Amino acid sequence: EDKVVQSPLSLVVHEGDTVTLNCSYEVTNFRSLLWYKQEKKAPTFLFMLTSSGIEKKSGRLSSILDKKELSSILNITATQTGDSAIYLCAVINAGNMLTFGGGTRLMVKP
Amino acid sequence: DAGITQSPRHKVTETGTPVTLRCHQTENHRYMYWYRQDPGHGLRLIHYSYGVKDTDKGEVSDGYSVSRSKTEDFLLTLESATSSQTSVYFCAISESMVLAGGPNEQFFGPGTRLTVL
């Protein structure tokens, strides 16, 4: 059974801090890894990572995949209160099954 | 925001009753998905569809059935609801097959909170 573990479970920082969220996985025939941000209700897509070592960047957010370590990190620099959310990591295997981690709850205080 | 709605948004029902949740999209995306989200489990895929009348099972499909008679609508049915199906249900859509590592985003609906007493 595929498994995705995110750490930390929750995190409280102050505006301006930089945070690093972790995602590790055990997947049969890994295909891709996805990051989502979930505020209030519905998750919104952030990144899809397929190749190891290639950083994807969107504004203050960036993410990189390490297939050797079976992990990915999501970095957020100069955090803002609007970054407060649950961040979800998910992996897709070659059998087209999608497995989500339990999420990291980030709270950014003013 | 992608044009994706779910109905009802909240529902309380009793064990043993049938329940149908509806997902409606105005984006003409080919792929649609149903997830459930529970504390400690994250999001889990129930069923997905890759076209009209084309569906397949996800990770937690037992106790659920789906139908897609039109591109824009994807229905999730609990034939006989159980308390273990109390959850928040999310529908998602994508232009390409996210499950196959396709490059396109997956857009989520607002969710339906279902309580089975």
CATH number at residue B73: 2.60.40.10
CB contact under 8 A, A92 and B98: yes
> What is the domain range of residue B62?
4-116
Looking at residues B95-101, what average pLDDT do you find? 65
pLDDT, tens only, B54-91: 999 988 999 999 999 999 999 999 999 999 999 999 99
**B42, B97, B100 ranked by CB distance to A103: nearest:** B42
Q: Determine the pLDDT at residue B68.
A: 97
d(CA B103, CA A92): 13
- Cα–Cα–Cα angle for B2, B7, B11, rounded to 5 degrees: 140
Q: Write the CB contacts of A104 (distance below 8 Å, at least 6 apart in sequence).
A: A6, A7, A8, A9, A10, A11, A21, A22, A86, A87
Strand B54-57, strand B42-51: pairing: antiparallel
- Cα–Cα–Cα angle for A37, B1, A77, rounded to 5 degrees: 35
Select, from the ranges A44-48, B42-46, B102-106, B112-116, the one with the highest average predicted confidence (pLDDT): B112-116
Q: Determine the pLDDT at residue B99.
A: 59
Of A15, A38, A25, residue with least CA distance to A72 = A25
CATH number at residue A101: 2.60.40.10
Query: Amino acid identity of B15?
Result: T
CA distance A16 to chain B (A): 28
Q: Determine the pLDDT at residue B98.
A: 63
Q: Determine the pLDDT at residue A51.
A: 86
CB-based contact A33:A49 (threshold 8 Å): yes
Q: Which residues of chain A have pLDDT under 50?
A: none
Confidence band (pLDDT; 50, 70, 90) for B1? low
Q: Determine the pLDDT at residue B104.
A: 57
> What is the domain range of residue A31?
3-109
Q: Determine the pLDDT at residue B48.
A: 92
Q: Determine the pLDDT at residue A42.
A: 82
User: Which of A31, A33, A41 to probe by mutation at the B interface, max B CB count within 10 Å?
Assistant: A41
Count of domains forming chain A:
1
CB-based contact B104:B97 (threshold 8 Å): no
- Phi, psi (rounded to 5 degrees) for B83: -60, -25
CA distance B87 to chain A (A): 13
User: In chain B, which residues have their Cβ closer than 8 Å to the Cβ of A41?
Assistant: 88, 110-111
For residue B108, the chain A residue with the least C-alpha distance is A42
pLDDT, tens only, B4-58: 999 999 999 999 999 999 999 999 999 899 999 987 778 889 999 989 999 999 8
Count of domains forming chain B:
1
Residues in a beta bridge with A107: A12
Query: Amino acid identity of A84?
Result: S
User: In chain B, which residues have their Cβ closer than 8 Å to the Cβ of A102?
Assistant: 40-42
Q: Determine the pLDDT at residue B103.
A: 52
